[in-house]
């Protein structure tokens, strides 16, 4: 059975006090209204993780993620955060290959493959992001791009490791723009991703891997997206910064 997951990527938002407030509000609404039917993964900025983790302690379906990690285990890499550090403060997930990392920090598929390995070696589930730009979509290159993002960063993994990876399809043109892929466009790409995985690893793994959709998911479009057969949840940016809207999106996944 595929895990249903709604993850909130706060990006570079929220001071520490604002973060505490947001997590408390999410916990309150989640406990009242959702009750352990959907995994909720919160990805606040690194420096908040250590103090936010105790707030979700004892809530089995609420988990923490890093927004990124280094591709090196440790050492003289000023400003970097390692996978083992994230694990040591209670992260069970880490977002890898977000399009903002690819775009602003030049992260390539090869580079990201190393991050995937190091996350898995530290017993965290990577949430690996793939997605095409508008230009790539308009040129008809979208399938080629997604296939390369998958194969170059993930397909060196043995089957038992790939089982621990969550994939997020996030069309770059839909992130933070208010443009959402239609549910049909999203479903088509999710089915394509599952097929690529099935071709390489077989149906059993492909059917059991969670594939999330991300890109301007809001309370009013979440249900239609989440109803699609190959969409197992969402990676939420802007709408994850406010508890009411975020929990409404989680509820759309129930």
Q: Name the 3-class secondary structure at 169.
A: strand
In whole angstroms, give the CA distance from residue 70 to residue 82.
5
Stretch that binds ligand PGA, among 60-68, 120-128, 148-156, 215-223 (CB under 6 A): 215-223
Residue of 42, 216, 226, 250 that binds ligand PGA (CB under 6 A):
216
238 is a site residue for ligand PGA (CB under 6 A): yes
Q: Max alpha carbon distance in the chain (Å)?
A: 48
201 vs 248 by CB, closer to ligand PGA: 248
In whole angstroms, give the CA distance from residue 125 to residue 122.
9
User: In whole angstroms, how close is the CB of 180 to ligand PGA at the nearest point?
Assistant: 8
Beta-bridge partner residues of 43: 9
Residue 45: count of CB within 10 angstroms of its CB: 17
Residue of 44, 171, 215, 245 that binds ligand PGA (CB under 6 A):
215
Residue of 81, 124, 235, 243 that binds ligand PGA (CB under 6 A):
235
Catalytic positions, please?
A: 98, 170
In whole angstroms, give the CA distance from residue 251 to residue 237.
16
In the range 172-191, which residues lie near ligand PGA by CB under 6 A? 175-176
Nearest-10 Cα torsion for 6, 10, 14, 17: 40
Alpha helical stretches, state H, 46-97? 46-56, 83-88
User: In whole angstroms, how close is the CB of 129 to ligand PGA at the nearest point?
Assistant: 7
User: In whole angstroms, how close is the CB of 113 to ligand PGA at the nearest point?
Assistant: 20
107 vs 206 by CB, closer to ligand PGA: 107
What is the residue whose two structure tokens read 């249900």?
223
CA-closest candidate to residue 84, choices 95, 96, 98, 74: 74
43 vs 206 by CB, closer to ligand PGA: 43
Site string for ligand PGA, 6-45 (x = CB under 6 A): ---x------------------------------------
In whole angstroms, give the CA distance from residue 239 to residue 216.
8
Residue of 19, 44, 214, 233 that binds ligand PGA (CB under 6 A):
214
Q: Which residues bind ligand PGA (CB under 6 A)?
A: 9, 170, 175-176, 214-217, 235-239
């Amino acid at each position: 059975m595929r895990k249903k997951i709604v993850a909130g990527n706060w990006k570079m938002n929220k001071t520490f006090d604002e973060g505490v407030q947001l997590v408390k509000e999410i916990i309150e609404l989640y406990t009242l209204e959702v009750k352990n039917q959907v995994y909720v993964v919160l990805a606040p900025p690194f420096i908040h993780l250590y103090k936010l983790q105790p707030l979700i302690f004892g809530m089995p379906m609420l988990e923490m993620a890093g927004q990124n990690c280094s591709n090196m285990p440790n050492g003289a890499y000023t400003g970097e955060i390692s996978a083992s550090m994230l694990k040591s403060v209670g992260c069970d997930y880490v977002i890898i290959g977000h399009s903002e990392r690819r775009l602003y920090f030049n992260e390539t598929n090869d580079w990201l493959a190393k991050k995937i390995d190091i996350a898995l070696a530290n017993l965290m589930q990577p949430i690996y992001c793939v997605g095409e730009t508008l230009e790539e979509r308009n040129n008809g290159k979208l399938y080629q791009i997604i296939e390369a993002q998958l194969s170059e960063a993930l397909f060196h993994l043995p089957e038992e490791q790939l089982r621990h990876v969550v994939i997020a399809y996030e069309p770059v043109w839909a992130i933070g723009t208010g443009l959402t892929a239609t549910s049909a466009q999203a479903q088509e790409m999710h089915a394509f991703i599952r097929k690529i995985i099935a071709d390489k690893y077989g149906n059993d793994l492909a059917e059991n891997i969670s594939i999330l959709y991300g890109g301007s998911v809001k309370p009013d479009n979440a249900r239609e997206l989440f109803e699609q057969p190959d969409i197992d949840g969402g990676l939420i940016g802007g709408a994850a910064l406010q508890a009411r809207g975020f929990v409404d999106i989680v509820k759309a996944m129930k």
